[in-house]
Amino acid sequence: MRRVPLLLAALLLAGPACAIQPGADPVPSVMWEFYRKQWLQDEPYVFDERVRVIAPPFAEDARQVPLQVDARALPGKVQRILVWAELNPIPRVVDFHPGPQVLPWLAVRIRIEQATPLRAAVLTDDGTWHIGSGLIDAAGGGCTAPSVVRSQPGWEERLGQVLGARYPREAFSRVRLDVSHPMDNGLTGGIPEFFIEHAELFDAKGQSLATLELFPAVSENPSLGFDLLNQGATRLVLRDNNGNQFDAAIE
């Protein structure tokens, strides 16, 4: 009889992990469990087709692979989107916290070192991670290729320059941003890590709209796209790991 409370306790402890069946991994890979434990710990998760991870079937340029993450079809409020390329030497791409004025949608360009599964783990306000998956083929070498930016004369003068525009849609507006930065990932000989690690969007009143942590799997001269419900002026603040801060504003 004394075993019953123990058993109950064990069941309760195991509860959250058992409450949801994650389903089958659409792109099984050896690294999935490792990264899941590292970043999602034992929080409940489910493989969810409603999280779309959109990339071309193959990387034409492994240094600049377009990647779109679309979690707009999920019910509930999205709190966080973690994106990674599973077989990359630097797997993590971004850690995105969209506020209520920002749609759970993101466009970014990334580097990949070899053919790899791509993942977007989307945390909704019920505490569940919804895992979107994709797969991309590649000849490889995107992470260890020599820097293109550093081969261009005068790149230091352009450091932190931001090109951008706002494109109004019916219910929201698209903001596109191109930032001049080498995003050195430390994998090319003799060049230490030097990359933008933090981006934050603010509205006209200075209220934070969204934050984005970047990792050096993001391509050189990062290209970013957001969809905002907020229609007014938007300010962007970027910070790199050397302490440089860059400001931009889009009307």
Partner 1 sequence: MRALLLLLACVSLPSLADLDYRLAPRQIAADTYVLEGSTEHFSRTNGGNIVNTGFIVTEAGVVVIDSGPSLRYGQALRKAIESVTDQPVVQVLLTHHHPDHALGSQAFAGVPVGALPGTTQLLEEQGDGLAENMYRMVGDWMRGTQVRLPDQPVAAGERAFGSHRLRLLALTGHSGADLAVFDEKTGVLFAGDLLFYQRALTTPNTPGLAVWLQDLQRLEALPWKVLVPGHGPLATDRAPFAQMVDYLGWLDKVMRESAAQGLDMTEVIATPIPQRFAGIALSQYELIRSVSHLYPQYERQVLKRVDR
Residues of the shown chain interacting with partner 1 in the complex, contacts defined by CB under 8 A: 54-58, 60-61, 64, 66-68, 107, 109, 139, 160-167, 174, 176-178, 223, 225, 236, 246-250
SS3 letters across 48-65: CCCCEEECCCECCCCCCE
CA 161 – CA 90 distance, rounded (Å): 25
Q: What is the DSSP letter of 218?
A: B
Whole-number minimum distance, CB 215 to partner 1, in Å?
20
Q: Which is nearer to partner 1, 11 or 163 (CB)?
A: 163
Q: Which is nearer to partner 1, 109 or 111 (CB)?
A: 109
Q: Show the CA angle centred on residue 202, arms to residues 124 and 249, nearest 5°.
A: 135
Q: Which is nearer to partner 1, 207 or 244 (CB)?
A: 244
- Buried/exposed code over 212-228 (b: 16+ C-beta within 10 A; e: otherwise): bbbbbbbbbbbbbbbbb
Which one-letter amino acid corresponds to residue 215?
Answer: F
CB atoms within 10 A of CB 129: 24
Whole-number minimum distance, CB 33 to partner 1, in Å?
28
Whole-number minimum distance, CB 43 to partner 1, in Å?
28
Whole-number minimum distance, CB 14 to partner 1, in Å?
39
Q: Which is nearer to partner 1, 31 or 250 (CB)?
A: 250
Q: Which is nearer to partner 1, 45 or 226 (CB)?
A: 226
Do the beta carbons of residue 140 and residue 224 sit within 8 Å? no
Q: Show the CA angle centred on residue 29, arms to residues 28 and 33, nearest 5°.
A: 100
Q: Which is nearer to partner 1, 61 or 213 (CB)?
A: 61
Q: Which is nearer to partner 1, 191 or 248 (CB)?
A: 248
Here the tokens at position 29 are: 């890979």
Whole-number minimum distance, CB 9 to partner 1, in Å?
48
CA 79 – CA 95 distance, rounded (Å): 11
Whole-number minimum distance, CB 78 to partner 1, in Å?
18
CA 67 – CA 16 distance, rounded (Å): 32
Beta bridge pairs of residue 116: 136
Whole-number minimum distance, CB 41 to partner 1, in Å?
30
Place of tokens 């792109």: 27
